[in-house]
Amino acid sequence: MKKLTLLFALSLFLFSCQKEDNAPFANKAGAEVSNAAIAGRSPAVPFRATYETYPQVVGFNAGVLTLAIPGVGQGTHLGKSTWYADSWVDTNVFPFQQTGDMTFTTANGAHLYGTFSGIGIPGEGGSVSFEGSYVITHGDGRFEGATGSGAYSGSAVGELGNLEFEGVLNNP
């Protein structure tokens, strides 16, 4: 019986000495993120988002159109959110070549950052349809360490557009 009690006490001691790595660390923005919160994430999850956009022409030089594109909408894992992009459209080639930098912002201020690249095809009445691929390069807040990729598509007429994303978010 003495050996069993000693074995039990030793087991409790060793178990209590184990350190869980749940200590918080500071992300780039200085906010604390716990390792346990990140470890609980699935490695890859589906991502879908839809935004109403309001493209604004901010420049045109040598056939390259510069746009600022704010948008409002929502997405999986984002909830209600905003989207913003700086976009460059090369109208010297057909179909038009589009590239840009983008930011998704959640209601609580977390961000996903990325880039996109694709084509735009002008249509009737000043409309344009576009499609391409995107890459999420990093995030902050609850998206610290996240990456992702997928496809985007949409259309615009004048100062009103719609935009859809479909792909995958990869958690660290």
Q: Give a yes or no: residue 107 inside a domain.
A: yes
Q: Give a yes or no: residue 94 inside a domain.
A: yes
Q: Give a yes or no: residue 132 inside a domain.
A: yes
Task: Give the residues of the chain that fall short of pLDDT 70.
Answer: 1-42, 172
- The model carries a pTM of 0.75
Give bridge partners of residue 160 from the DSSP assignment: 157
Q: Give a yes or no: residue 87 inside a domain.
A: yes
* Cα distances (angstroms) measured from residue 152 to each of 21, 47, 50, 61, 172: 38, 11, 10, 26, 23
Q: Which residue is it, tokens 């929502």? A: 74
Q: Give a yes or no: residue 64 inside a domain.
A: yes
Residues sharing a CB contact under 8 Å with residue 9, sequence separation 6 or more, in sequence order: none
Q: Give a yes or no: residue 135 inside a domain.
A: yes
Instruction: Give the model confidence (pLDDT) of 143-162 as tens digits.
Output: 999 999 999 999 999 999 99
Q: Domain span at residue 166?
A: 45-170
Q: Give a yes or no: residue 114 inside a domain.
A: yes
- 4 burial level (CB within 10 Å; 0-12, 13-18, 19+): exposed
Give how many domains the chain has, as a whole number.
1
Q: Give a yes or no: residue 36 inside a domain.
A: no
Residues sharing a CB contact under 8 Å with residue 7, sequence separation 6 or more, in sequence order: none
Spatial separation of the C-alpha atoms in residues 3 and 97, rounded to whole Å: 76
Instruction: Give the model confidence (pLDDT) of 99-129 as tens digits.
Output: 999 999 999 999 999 999 999 999 999 999 9
Give bridge partners of residue 7 from the DSSP assignment: none
